[in-house]
Amino acid sequence: MVEAFPHDFVLAGDGRPPEDVVRAAIAPRYTVAPDGRPRSLRLTWLDTFDCRLRHAGLTLLHSVGSRVSDYTLTGDDGEQITAEAKGLRWPAPADALPPGPLRARVRPATWVRALIPTARASALVRRFRVLNADQKTIAWLTISDMSAPGGGAADLAPRLSVTAVRGYKAQARRIIRALTAAADVIPAALSPLDSVLAATGRRSCDYSSKIDVKLTPEMPARSAMQTVLLRLLDTLEANVPGTVHDTDTEFLHDLRVAVRRTRSAIKLCGDVLAPGTAEAFRGEFKWLGDVTTPIRDLDVYLLGYGGMAAALLAATPAELTPFHDHLAQRREVEQRELARALRSRRFLDMTKAWRGALAAPPPRRGMTAAHLAADRIRRADRQVLRRGSAITADSPPESLHDLRKRCKELRYLLEFFASLHDPAIHQQAVRDLKGLQDCLGEYQDGQVQQHEIRMFGAQMMAEHDVPATALLAMGELAGQIARRERRARREFAGRFEDFASAASQRRSRALTSGAG
Partner 1 sequence: MKILATYNIKGGVGKTATAVNIGHLAARDGLRVLLWDLDPQGAASFLLRVRPRVKGGGAALIKGRGDLDAAIKGTDFDRLDLLPADFTYRKLDLILDATKKPTQRLARLLRPLGDEYDLVVLDCPPSISLLSESVLHAADVLLVPLIPTTLSVRTLDQLTDFIAGFDGHRPKVLAFCSMIDRRKRLHRDIAERLPAERPDVARTIIPALSLIERMSLERAPVTAFAPRSAAARQYAALWAEVAERAL
User: Which residues are near partner 1 by CB under 8 A?
Assistant: 84, 101, 129, 134-137, 165-168
- Taking the C-alpha atoms of residue 176 and residue 138, their distance in angstroms, rounded to an integer, is 12
**Amino acid identity, residue 483?**
R
Closest approach of Cβ 136 to partner 1, in Å?
Answer: 4
Q: List, as one string, the DSSP characters of 101-126.
A: HHHHHHHHHHTTPEEEEEEEEEEEEE
Taking residue 415's Cβ as centre, other Cβ atoms within 10 Å add up to: 17
> Shortest gap between Cβ of 170 and partner 1 (angstroms)?
12
Shortest spacing between CB 166 and partner 1, in angstroms? 4
To 10 degrees, what angle do helices 397-416 and 369-389 make? 160
34/363 with CB nearer partner 1: 34
Strand partners of residue 60: 46, 73
Indicate the residue among 129 and 326 with the shorter CB distance to partner 1.
Answer: 129
Smallest distance from partner 1 to CB 460, Å? 45
DSSP 367: -
User: Considering only CA atoms, which of 261, 255, 263 is closest in space to residue 299?
Assistant: 255
Task: Give CA torsion, residues 114, 119, 125, 130, to 10 deg.
Answer: -80
Between 39 and 382, name the residue whose CB sits nearer to partner 1.
39
Closest CA to 450 of 471, 480, 489: 480
- In this complex, which beta carbon is closest to partner 1, that of residue 164 or of residue 240? 164
Angle (CA) 80 48 60, round 5°: 15
Residue count (the chain): 516
Name the residue nearer to partner 1 (CB basis): 137 or 450. Answer: 137
In the complex with partner 1, which residue's Cβ is closer, 85 or 230? 85
> Considering the complex, what minimum distance in angstroms separates the CB of residue 105 from partner 1?
13
Whose Cβ is closer to partner 1: residue 84's or residue 337's?
Answer: 84
Find the farthest-apart pair of alpha carbons in the chain and give their distance in angstroms, rounded: 88
Query: What residues are paired with 69 via a beta bridge?
Result: 64
Shortest CA distance to 444 belongs to which of 476, 477, 492, 410? Answer: 492
Q: In the bound complex, what is the minimum distance in angstroms from residue 344's beta carbon to partner 1?
A: 50
Min separation Cβ 35 and partner 1, Å: 9
Q: How much of the chain is in helix, strand and coil states, percent to nearest 5?
A: 60, 15, 25
Taking the complex as a whole, how short is the minimal distance between the CB of residue 57 and partner 1, in angstroms?
21
- Name the residue nearer to partner 1 (CB basis): 165 or 472: 165
Closest among 162, 163, 150 to 196, alpha carbons compared: 150
CB 135 to partner 1: min, Å: 6
Distance from chain centroid for Cα 476: 34
In the complex with partner 1, the residue whose CB is nearer, 132 or 469, is 132
To partner 1, the closest distance from the beta carbon of 138 in angstroms equals 9
Q: What is the DSSP string of 156-198?
A: S--EEEEEEPTT-HHHHHHHHHHHHHSTTEEE-SS-HHHHHHH
The backbone region for 366, taken as left when phi is positive above 0, alpha when psi lies in -120 to 50, beta otherwise, is: left
